[in-house]
Amino acid sequence: MDMKRDYYEDIQLLDSKVLWFWFIMLIASLVTLPFLLPNYHIYMVNYMAINVIVTVGLNILVGYTGQISLGHAGFFAIGAYGTVLLMTNLHFPFLLALICGGLIAAFFGFILGLPALRLEGPYLAIATLGFGMAITQVIGRWQVFGGRMGLEVPDLSLGPFVIDTDRQLYFVVVTIAFLLILAARNLMKTRVGRAFIAIRDSDIAAETMGVNLTLYKTLAFAVSAFYAGVAGGLFAFLLGFINPSTFNFILSIYFLAFVIVGGLGSIFGSIMGGVVMTWLMLTLDKVQELPYIGAVLVSFSDSWMNVAGLPNISSVIFGLIIILLVVFEPLGLYGFWIRTKIYWKTWPF
Amino acid sequence: MFLQLVVSGISFGSLYALIALAMVIIYKTSEVPNFGQGEMAMISTFVAFTLLVTHGYSFVVSFIGAFIFAAALGIFLEFVFLRRAKDPNILSLILITLGFEMVLYGLASWKWGADQRNFPFPVSDFDVIHLGSAVISYLNIATLLITLLLMFMLFLFFRYTKVGIAMKATQQNAMAARINGIRTNRILSITWALSSMIGAVAGMLLAPIATLDPNLMLEPLLKGFAAAVLGGMTTLVGAALGGYILGVLENLFGGYVSLEFKSIVAFLIIVLVLCFKPSGLFAKHYVRKV
């Protein structure tokens, strides 16, 4: 919208005083939020922050680099199990374990990125799908990972602070999410980010311009997997208990749905997508408690479907949302936001 | 031991071959891997189950009912969702099939829950015949025969019927086919119906071996993809052979190396094939232009 006159204007984090004002307001509200909200909502906000991390990471891969991944639940699982096992078996401190968990996930992402060099579109989707399923299988069968029974998550302490409530966890999760989002946003303004976008627009053209495809495609996978791994590590502490069935194929599609809903190729969109969809997901889990709609759905299930299976309605709704967005609004919430903004800026024209 | 593993591998392989065939038929016409394939087959199997057990119809009626349902489902997906996509690229088509997959999975879990059901089948899994040192059940033999019969019918269909030839023409060059008077949109719908019915056969043959629940086809879907990738996503014969090879390899791995990690064979095969021969064992290599 506004013209950028030189490079430094382009890479600025926030380009006007108004934006700085809102940015500071955002930080202030994030800090005061946990003291105002009830406990369940804190849990929900933590969940949102974790999903936002995954969504931003996945968006780097899908939205910016144009590579599809149907195996992000696999990286999420690697991060979760990696962090927990490093803490219980090797007694790593929390932050170090979290970063190592993320790096292990990134390493797997790098490995998975290697075949991606030769693949595109459908083949890549199939290979990543296979990866996600293979990870869940291995974790479920191997005793080191607790098998089908899963693992107990150790107590969390950060230096002198012991963190055992959702409210304390909030500060850890939200701080990490904030830093990672900032990092992603800055990454996209650098040489690396521009290389990713060039690969998305046409990988052959990018290669002729001197973009090293091997390096940048595997890097995109690794960065994206790192985000998923860190989010997985945090998720383990949110749940307090992890088992393989949490990280199934459906979860990978949920992550993809977050990205689509937020808008491909937009960090701000990913934040919106993660927040809105997590809210929707947690609400739909208890859909029968909703006013009006809940009662209608229960009676509908009673006569046509099955009341016990009602929470599965979230799959149906997520699926429909994916389809409808792809057909009608490929840019997702971000596209919607941009159009609303332009509409009001130019009103009444 | 070896013979036994090979024999049961072939019987599983024929199921993978069916799923792979269903996918390849779609992939050749629409250039989209159908991630909803497994769930479409699962729901069709549930329809057969409902007709059979809840309403007490005979096998013939229930199976025909399920096939009609499967065909309708395929046409529905193509007509209502895929055709509506504005300027579709491969990512958005994949996403639509994924969305459809989730809708079907959700609906099936909503309606039938997570209970495991036994799917009755006219041929028993417990009566066996001995084949040298190997044992093979009647159900396995039936699976094998039905698959082979179906493949033969597909061959005849693509070779000798007008619709089959029109389908091949559409796959090769949609524009030229349309100029020659083929209604490619209608052919596309028929293709989806055909593929969905083949998938339904796979589902109904698998259900008596496994137990019928909404997760029935999650893993076989991956196996079907692996088989299709192994044989080549663009050849019908290759995909079928890929299914058999995958079935046998997987069983041998399970028997000699490790039973626990049997299910990652499919993934390893996908990765290895894609690394060394991306177009599959039996397909011609294709180079993309800018």
B16-51 confidence digits (pLDDT tens): 999 999 999 888 888 888 888 899 999 999 999 989
Confirm if A37 and A218 have CB atoms less than 8 A apart. no
- Please indicate whether, in this complex, the C-beta atoms of A306 and B110 are within 8 angstroms of each other: yes
Q: H/E element holding B131?
A: strand B128-131
CA distance A150 to B277: 38
Chain B residues whose beta carbon lies within 8 Å of the beta carbon of residue A314: 106
**Tens digit of pLDDT for each residue in B126-136?**
777 777 777 88
Chain A residues whose beta carbon lies within 8 Å of the beta carbon of residue B274: 115, 118-119, 123, 127
Contacts of B125 (CB under 8 A, 6+ apart): B137, B138, B139, B140, B208, B209
Contacts of B34 (CB under 8 A, 6+ apart): B22, B23, B26, B27, B40, B97, B195
Confirm if B4 and B212 have CB atoms less than 8 A apart. no
Residue B138's pLDDT is 85
Confirm if A301 and B106 have CB atoms less than 8 A apart. no
Chain A residues whose beta carbon lies within 8 Å of the beta carbon of residue B110: 301, 305-306, 309-310, 312-313, 316
CA distance A25 to B220: 51
Tell me, yes or no, if B259 comes closer than 8 A to chain A by beta carbon.
no
Q: Phi and psi for A188 in degrees, rounded to 5?
A: -70, -15
Q: How far is B26 from chain A (nearest CA, A)?
A: 12
Tell me, yes or no, if B275 comes closer than 8 A to chain A by beta carbon.
yes
**Tens digit of pLDDT for each residue in B226-236?**
898 888 888 88
- pLDDT at B278 exceeding the cut of 80: no
Question: Which has the closest alpha carbon to A114: B274, B233, B266?
Answer: B274
Check residue B121 and give left, alpha or beta (phi > 0: left; psi -120 to 50: alpha).
beta
As a residue count, chain A comes to 349
Domains of chain A listed by start with CATH number: 38-345 (1.10.3470)
Residue A2's pLDDT is 63
Check residue A210 and give left, alpha or beta (phi > 0: left; psi -120 to 50: alpha).
left
Contacts of A301 (CB under 8 A, 6+ apart): A307, A309, A310, B110
- Please indicate whether, in this complex, the C-beta atoms of A306 and B113 are within 8 angstroms of each other: yes
Please tell me what DSSP assigns to residue B117: B
Tell me, yes or no, if B99 comes closer than 8 A to chain A by beta carbon.
yes
Tell me, yes or no, if B83 comes closer than 8 A to chain A by beta carbon.
no
Contacts of B160 (CB under 8 A, 6+ apart): none
User: What would you report as the CA-atom Rg of chain A, rounded to the nearest whole angstrom?
Assistant: 21
Q: Which residue of B has its CA nearest to A147?
A: B260
Q: What sign does the dihedral A245-A248-A252-A258 (CA atoms) show?
A: negative
**Partners of B250 in beta bridges:** none
Chain B residues whose beta carbon lies within 8 Å of the beta carbon of residue A262: none
As a residue count, chain B comes to 290
Residue A129's pLDDT is 86
pLDDT > 70 in chain B, percent: 97
Q: How far is B156 from chain A (nearest CA, A)?
A: 29
- Please indicate whether, in this complex, the C-beta atoms of A114 and B275 are within 8 angstroms of each other: yes
Confirm if B252 and B9 have CB atoms less than 8 A apart. yes
Band (pLDDT 50/70/90 cuts) for residue B194 is very high
How many beta carbons lie within 10 A of that of residue A310, not counting itself?
23
Residue A103's pLDDT is 95
- Please indicate whether, in this complex, the C-beta atoms of B275 and A118 are within 8 angstroms of each other: yes
Question: Which has the closest alpha carbon to A252: A73, A112, A130?
Answer: A73
Tell me, yes or no, if B172 comes closer than 8 A to chain A by beta carbon.
no
Confirm if B15 and B265 have CB atoms less than 8 A apart. no
Q: How far is B179 from chain A (nearest CA, A)?
A: 28
How many beta carbons lie within 10 A of that of residue B117, not counting itself?
15
- Please indicate whether, in this complex, the C-beta atoms of B278 and A130 are within 8 angstroms of each other: no
Question: Which has the closest alpha carbon to A29: A230, A234, A170, A237?
Answer: A170
* Mean pLDDT for back-to-back runs of 10 residues, chain A (349 residues): 73 80 90 85 91 94 89 92 89 89 93 78 82 84 77 78 83 92 91 92 88 90 94 90 85 90 89 92 82 79 76 87 86 88 86
Higher pLDDT, B263 or B168: B168
Which one of A127, A138, A310 has the shortest CB-CB distance to B264?
Answer: A138
User: In this structure, what is the dihedral angle of CA atoms B250, A248, A327, A225, given to the nearest 10 degrees?
Assistant: -90
CA distance B35 to B30: 13
Tell me, yes or no, if A339 comes closer than 8 A to chain B by beta carbon.
no
Between β-strands B128-131 and B134-137, what pairing exists: parallel, antiparallel or unpaired? antiparallel
Q: How far is A278 from chain B (nearest CA, A)?
A: 17
How many beta carbons lie within 10 A of that of residue A37, not counting itself?
16
Residue B69's pLDDT is 94
Confirm if A135 and A247 have CB atoms less than 8 A apart. yes
Query: How many CB pairs lie under 8 A apart between chains A and B?
Result: 157
Q: Which two tokens stand for residue B70?
A: 């499967």
Tell me, yes or no, if A250 comes closer than 8 A to chain B by beta carbon.
yes
pTM of the model: 0.89
Chain B residues whose beta carbon lies within 8 Å of the beta carbon of residue A260: 95
CA-to-CA separations, A134 to A247, A342, B20, B74, B270, in angstroms, rounded: 11, 46, 19, 29, 11
CA distance B202 to B162: 26
Band (pLDDT 50/70/90 cuts) for residue B65 is very high
Q: Which two tokens stand for residue B231?
A: 């044989």
Q: How far is A69 from chain B (nearest CA, A)?
A: 11
